[in-house]
Structure 1
Amino acid sequence: MSKQPNRVTVHSKLTAVSSKPIGPGKAHPLSVLDHAMGHHTLHMIFYYRDKLFGSFDLDPLRESLTEVLSLYPPVTGRLAREEKEGNWKVKCNDAGVRVIRAKVDTTLDEWLRSADGSEERDLTVWDEMPDDPHTWSPFVIQVNEFEGEGIAIGLSCTHMHADLTSATLLFKSWTEVHRHAPISHPPLFNPSALRARPVLNTCTKSATYYANKSTIKAQTPSEKLATATFRFSNSVIKHCLLEVSDICHDATPFDFLSALFWTCIARLKPTKNDHSHSLSICTDFRNMLKAPVSTGYFGNALHFSMLSLAVREMDHSQLGHVAGFVHHHVAGLEEQEIWPVIDWFESQKDKAGKFAPPFCMYGPELTCVSMEHMIIPSGHTLDADQSLMYEAMFSEKEIPVHVSCHVGNMKGEGLIMVMPAPEGGLARSVMVMLPEKELPELCKDETILRLEPTMLLTGRS
């Protein structure tokens, strides 16, 4: 089905400020890793079947938003440059968050069937940062009403301010305040927690990887990128993990699904001169350090690392082996490879102390993002595990029916995001962004289709 234009119509804009005024003169400096993500933006969309509100201007939904914003001063502030070094900081002046109201000219179910990734971005209207951002809101919330029952709430922000964990917990905190529940992960604003060490160590493979990545000029895709979402059930993933257990007995859903999509996408790509395929793996390292960073740490705590395999190792019949390679790569990530990356970014400062310009982190090689850290163990069986994303409930009775995540300004071969699914347990959603000519071929791949995924937001009716 071809894209239907103008199904999302913005009809009002307002600004939400915190319920408690912030004291004058407060500022939040952005960390070295925050600056490193300055090339990108984040866009999350939470879909609900209920309406949730009547007139948002006077609704409890807005009231709970203003209340939670009082806990997040950097969210309502404005970007400015430090006078001495010229690095970014947030003036916590309670200028507020832009809130957009919009109507969607279809039902929720029809939208999930027929919209594509490009049209879905209409649910998160975004203006790029101007040269002078002192009046520009780095966070935007868009409330979209579907015909009949159902809404989608889009949260957009600069990647400098937050990563997917921080954005998820901001949204989840809003839902907890709304239903008068305690906030499970209070925000922690401490950019110095990830400050470079006194003696910089940049002689590691991870620091070298980032150094090489920084030298690659930004690429403009020769064609438009397209997005599709594949949802796999708990029972299917359980069966798949059992099938590869002889080769990798402790494989995770991420290990299997990243191996599956990597091998399928590799067939669509030309072989490199060294007869290998490479995958950049993005992981959250909050709980990977000996002195863990709080889950509520607000900012960026992501690590990118490279896994390369020879073409002969990427055959579909070797899927268990590829999952094993992914598993051992992720499990082998250690603290001594994370800190040197922070050291390397610190070493790139100029004489005045200003950080080097950001570069494309999600690319140019195929990139796969793990969100396994968002899974909350139930303490009973894996089938009962739930995720932070799907605990974002405005009422006790209704979890989101779907959550989408988009990364802005992604360049290169493509992006795979292995995410939790509403079913919970081992079920996962996989969002894939590929060049338009490649995505239809991936959607027809028999290796994927034999697992009977539910296809969402592919532009098909």
Structure 2
Amino acid sequence: MSNSRVAVNSKLTVVSSRPVSASGKGKAHALSALDSAMGSHTVHVIYYYKNEEKWFESFDLLDPLRESLSEVLTLYPTVTGRLGKRGVDGGWEVKCNDAGVRVIKASVDATLDQWLKSASGSEENLLVAWDHMPDDPTTWSPFRIQVNRFEGGGVAIGISCSHMVADLTFLASFFKSWTEVHRHLAITHPPFVAPLPNHADDDAESLPRHAKTHSPRNMATATFKFSSSIINRCLSKVHGTCPNATPFDFLAALFWNRIARVKPPKNHHQTHCLCICTDFRNLIKASLPIGYFGNALHFSMLSQKVEDMQLGGIVSAVHSHLKGLSEEEIWSTNNEGNYYCMYGTELTCVCMEHLVFEEENESLLYAAMFGNNEKPIQVSCRVGNVDYGEGLITVMPSEEGGLSRTVMVMLPEEELAELSKDEAILELEPAMLLAGSVVSGGPLT
């Protein structure tokens, strides 16, 4: 964009501090059918820090932050590897060849506070680095890190990857591991590299993909932050209808209901669909750890006449839908390659409740600290190449902890403009950040 406040200063490749051992050199990790089906999307997480403890200085060769990145990469050979095709069946795999991770250094012509108050969604995209995968990916890094320095010392670190190799949960666990190595702590969620149980080794090209019946549109994003006390009050109001409602149940229902009112009608029955994206690491008997390398996402469809329902009824419908998900349904979807609705043409809502650890009263996202007492003041999570659909809602933990939640919404520009004035949302007194246009037409670049 013209007159950009973000300037790239340098690009480099960071390798592990110790080469892959002889036993691991040349090994490859086969991607699952689900991984391959996610290939048209990208994943991006941005962590904002005040840097009050001065843990970030320059990211030069001997800078402690760069040294800790090299150290943690030793434990993640799949992150420093490169994508390729298997010889016999042509399926995708990550070759553990110790090729390193692309790192970009950038400076921002604004203070951190100024940025958070004024940056648009398209500007925030500039804090993450991404290049499209070329025809020959053997030298292309599927993981990218961009370190952004603000005036006055603030820092934003954007980490990106192809959705084919990992989901948001893995990215968050990898980033937290980096902060723990930096602080000389034991890693809480080590990497777990293994095939999905019962997964099919289908090539991405042979899988049914969601139908892109729309042309790409100019989308806009807005971030709504709800306090713990507000969410507690909202849950109390729907307690009679849904006594075990979670913050996600309420916020998914609220935004689904309000977005339905600003979208043009699609049918005379006024039935609206919501595709819910859920992490299934803890939903299967042989549960997968947080550090599982790959995708552990299930997409399921819920249809309701939400404009005619009381909010409590919609909350109950969302809650019952999620409680009704079975392991049989999850594996059926994975084994049959039935990925029709993922980030597809229907409104999609991503649930990140599994990243809230109640026993620790914190979330995985905001436990990532390079300084001993300095948590991120804001974390943004984005999925690239979703501008063919009806929109994307991401409900994620917030820095306040407890029941507080951050909701990131991507909608067509005119719809988001109406949603941002919606009285039912505004009466909950959300803090609104990073509202603005997004350049559409493909993954974040």
Task: Give the TM-score, by structure 1 length.
Answer: 0.89
Which residue of 379, 387, 404 maps to 2:380? 404
Q: Is the 8 A contact 2:212 2:345 kept in 1?
A: no
Separation of aligned partners in 1, 2:229 and 2:73: 39
Q: Is the 8 A contact 2:57 2:63 kept in 1?
A: yes
* CA deviation profile, 1:406-429 (whole Å, cap 9, x unmatched): 101112100000000000000000
Aligned Cα root-mean-square deviation (Å) = 1.9
Which residue of 213, 217, 225 maps to 2:219? 225
Following superposition, the deviation at residue 39 of structure 1 comes to 1.2
Aligned to 1:269: 263
Aligned to 1:284: 279
| Structure 2 unmatched runs, 5+ | 202-206, 438-445
* CA deviation profile, 1:260-311 (whole Å, cap 9, x unmatched): 1111100011222242000000000000012212222111000000000025
**1:441 lines up with 2:394 in the alignment:** no
Separation of aligned partners in 2, 1:311 and 1:395: 45
Following superposition, the deviation at residue 111 of structure 1 comes to 0.7
**1:79 lines up with 2:71 in the alignment:** no
Question: Aligned with 2:308: secondary structure?
Answer: helix
Q: Is the 8 A contact 1:280 1:305 kept in 2?
A: yes
Aligned to 2:402: 425
Aligned to 1:382: none
Question: Aligned with 1:76: secondary structure?
Answer: coil
Separation of aligned partners in 1, 2:129 and 2:285: 40
Question: Aligned with 2:428: secondary structure?
Answer: coil
In the TM superposition, what are the counterparts of 1:41-60 in structure 2 within 5 Å?
41-50=42-51, 51-57=54-60, 58-60=62-64
* CA deviation profile, 1:58-98 (whole Å, cap 9, x unmatched): 21101110111111111101111111111111111111000
Which residue of 137, 141, 144 maps to 2:148? 144
Amino acid aligned to 2:113: D
Separation of aligned partners in 2, 1:35 and 1:148: 42
Is the alpha carbon distance of 1:439 and 1:184 closer, same or farther for their aligned partners in structure 2, counting shifts above 3 Å? Answer: same
Following superposition, the deviation at residue 360 of structure 1 comes to 7.2
Question: Aligned with 1:106: secondary structure?
Answer: strand
Question: Aligned with 1:73: secondary structure?
Answer: coil
* CA deviation profile, 1:129-153 (whole Å, cap 9, x unmatched): 0111111111110000001021000
Separation of aligned partners in 2, 1:165 and 1:29: 19
Following superposition, the deviation at residue 11 of structure 1 comes to 0.5
**1:239 lines up with 2:242 in the alignment:** no
Aligned to 1:31: 32
Question: Aligned with 2:375: secondary structure?
Answer: coil
Question: Aligned with 2:381: secondary structure?
Answer: strand
Separation of aligned partners in 1, 2:30 and 2:59: 33
Which one is further off, 116-125 or 279-288?
116-125
Separation of aligned partners in 2, 1:20 and 1:359: 42
| Structure 1 unmatched runs, 5+ | 198-210, 349-357, 380-384
Q: Is the 8 A contact 1:218 1:360 kept in 2?
A: no
Aligned to 1:376: 357
Aligned to 2:289: 294
Aligned to 1:454: 431
**1:188 lines up with 2:192 in the alignment:** yes
Following superposition, which runs of at least 4 residues in structure 1 exceed 6 angstroms of deviation? Answer: none
In the TM superposition, what are the counterparts of 1:166-205 in structure 2 within 5 Å?
166-196=170-200
Amino acid aligned to 2:9: H
Is the alpha carbon distance of 1:250 and 1:311 closer, same or farther for their aligned partners in structure 2, counting shifts above 3 Å? Answer: closer
Following superposition, the deviation at residue 117 of structure 1 comes to 1.2
In the TM superposition, what are the counterparts of 1:306-317 in structure 2 within 5 Å?
306-314=301-309
**1:322 lines up with 2:314 in the alignment:** yes
Question: Aligned with 1:14: secondary structure?
Answer: strand
Q: Which has the larger share of helix?
A: 1
Q: Is the 8 A contact 1:114 1:459 kept in 2?
A: no
Aligned to 2:106: 102
Which one is further off, 442-451 or 359-368?
359-368
Question: Aligned with 2:400: secondary structure?
Answer: coil
Following superposition, the deviation at residue 55 of structure 1 comes to 2.4
Q: Is the 8 A contact 1:415 1:434 kept in 2?
A: yes
Question: Aligned with 1:278: secondary structure?
Answer: strand
**1:342 lines up with 2:338 in the alignment:** no
**1:332 lines up with 2:332 in the alignment:** no
Question: Aligned with 1:373: secondary structure?
Answer: helix
Question: Aligned with 2:48: secondary structure?
Answer: strand
Separation of aligned partners in 1, 2:112 and 2:127: 12
Aligned to 2:41: 40
Amino acid aligned to 1:46: Y
Is the alpha carbon distance of 1:420 and 1:251 closer, same or farther for their aligned partners in structure 2, counting shifts above 3 Å? Answer: same
Which residue of 118, 125, 128 maps to 2:129? 125
Q: Is the 8 A contact 1:36 1:359 kept in 2?
A: no
Q: Is the 8 A contact 2:37 2:209 kept in 1?
A: no
Is the alpha carbon distance of 1:343 and 1:69 closer, same or farther for their aligned partners in structure 2, counting shifts above 3 Å? Answer: same
Separation of aligned partners in 2, 1:376 and 1:301: 18
Is the alpha carbon distance of 1:218 and 1:190 closer, same or farther for their aligned partners in structure 2, counting shifts above 3 Å? Answer: farther
Which residue of 358, 371, 392 maps to 2:368? 392
Separation of aligned partners in 1, 2:210 and 2:165: 24
Q: Is the 8 A contact 2:128 2:146 kept in 1?
A: yes
Separation of aligned partners in 1, 2:209 and 2:126: 31
Aligned residues: 425
Question: Aligned with 1:144: secondary structure?
Answer: strand
* CA deviation profile, 1:12-55 (whole Å, cap 9, x unmatched): 11110011111332111111211111110001100000053222
Aligned to 1:113: 117
Separation of aligned partners in 1, 2:294 and 2:219: 28
Q: Is the 8 A contact 1:78 1:137 kept in 2?
A: yes
Separation of aligned partners in 2, 1:239 and 1:74: 44
Identical residues among aligned pairs (%): 61
Separation of aligned partners in 1, 2:286 and 2:302: 26
Amino acid aligned to 1:21: P
Amino acid aligned to 1:225: M
